[in-house]
Amino acid sequence: MDACPGLILRDVQPPLRLADFRLVAFDMDSTLIDIECVDEIADAVGRKAEVAAITEAAMRGEISDYQESLRRRLALLKGVPEAAIDAVYRERLQLNPGVETFVRACQAAGLKTLLVSGGFTRISDRIKARLGLDFARANVLEIADGALTGRLVPRPWGEIVDGAEKRRVLLEVCELLGISPAQAIAVGDGANDLPMMGVAGLSVAFHAKPAVRAQARVAVVEGGMDRLLALFEPPAAGAAAA
């Protein structure tokens, strides 16, 4: 542990080689970014406390049906002006500490990058572009007459990105890349991240809920996401990206 300050390790023996992995998958809200977007959007209509209570219970795993919990929260967003989503991105959202450093290190080592979120494409598309990520999947908010309807837009694969969909997307991208799930890293903080973390070769809980931290092979409990780099051998001087 002295070599990996701020980390709790379970069945992991550093140093690992980052280049031995080929994919890293990230949750978005409270993982890549420092807010829960649905909570902040709800603040536009004075419903943040009510929505945040449902979010917190869902992330702790106290609400077993994630899809139903999201539908309940979405219903409370009905009537929120479309512009409020953009204001949340501009005024309230920041990348979590160390995120950009860790993402860049993964990219330099040749890993593909995936964002898979129960949040919304109006935010996730911007985070994907900001970090230069390869793949992303999130929910699409339905908007009519410049305001949220309280529903999502159905997609060919379904309606809601929940834990099962996160797992399915990670496995789908692994198949697309021709790699084993054992060559994937999955990083998340909430109960809906556990299914994808469970199939990845390296599961990482980032400032996560206790139930998630207890099941992850690595937990970041202090500092930024760049603390994870302590697990890996430093790249050789002058090594080119794969």
Burial class (CB in 10 A: 0-12, 13-18, 19+), 202: buried
Q: Could you tell me the two tokens for 237?
A: 């001087």
Note the Cα 227 to chain centre separation in Å.
17
With respect to residue 210, please indicate whether it lies within any of the assigned structural domains.
yes
With respect to residue 2, please indicate whether it lies within any of the assigned structural domains.
no
pLDDT of residue 241: 44
With respect to residue 180, please indicate whether it lies within any of the assigned structural domains.
yes
For residues 158 and 169, what is the distance between their CA atoms, to the nearest angstrom?
A: 12
With respect to residue 81, please indicate whether it lies within any of the assigned structural domains.
no
Single pTM value for the model: 0.93
With respect to residue 57, please indicate whether it lies within any of the assigned structural domains.
no
Annotated catalytic residue: which of 11, 29, 134, 145? 29
pLDDT of residue 45: 87
What CATH number corresponds to the domain at position 203?
3.40.50.1000
- Decide if 29 is catalytic: yes
pLDDT of residue 44: 86
For residues 192 and 56, what is the distance between their CA atoms, to the nearest angstrom?
A: 12
Domain carrying residue 223 = 7-35+95-231
With respect to residue 213, please indicate whether it lies within any of the assigned structural domains.
yes
23-26 and 135-139 beta bridge pairing: unpaired
DSSP string for the chain = -TTSTTEEESS--SPB-GGG--EEEE-TBTTTBSS-HHHHHHGGGT-HHHHHHHHHHHHHT-SS-HHHHHHHHHHTTTT-BHHHHHHHHHHT--BPTTHHHHHHHHHHTT-EEEEEEEEEHHHHHHHHHHHT-SEEEEE-EEEETTEEEEEE--BTTBS---HHHHHHHHHHHHHHHT--GGGEEEEE-SGGGHHHHHHSSEEEEES--HHHHHH-SEEE-SS-GGGGGGGBPPPPTTPPP-
- Decide if 34 is catalytic: no
Number of structural domains found in the chain: 1
pLDDT of residue 237: 59
With respect to residue 46, please indicate whether it lies within any of the assigned structural domains.
no
List the one residue out of 13, 2, 8 whose CA is nearest residue 232. Answer: 13
pLDDT in tens, 195-231: 999 999 999 999 999 999 999 999 999 999 999 999 9
With respect to residue 197, please indicate whether it lies within any of the assigned structural domains.
yes
Give the residue ranges of the chain where pLDDT is below 70: 1-3, 236-242
Annotated catalytic residue: which of 27, 39, 189, 193? 27
pLDDT of residue 86: 94
For residues 52 and 179, what is the distance between their CA atoms, to the nearest angstrom?
A: 37
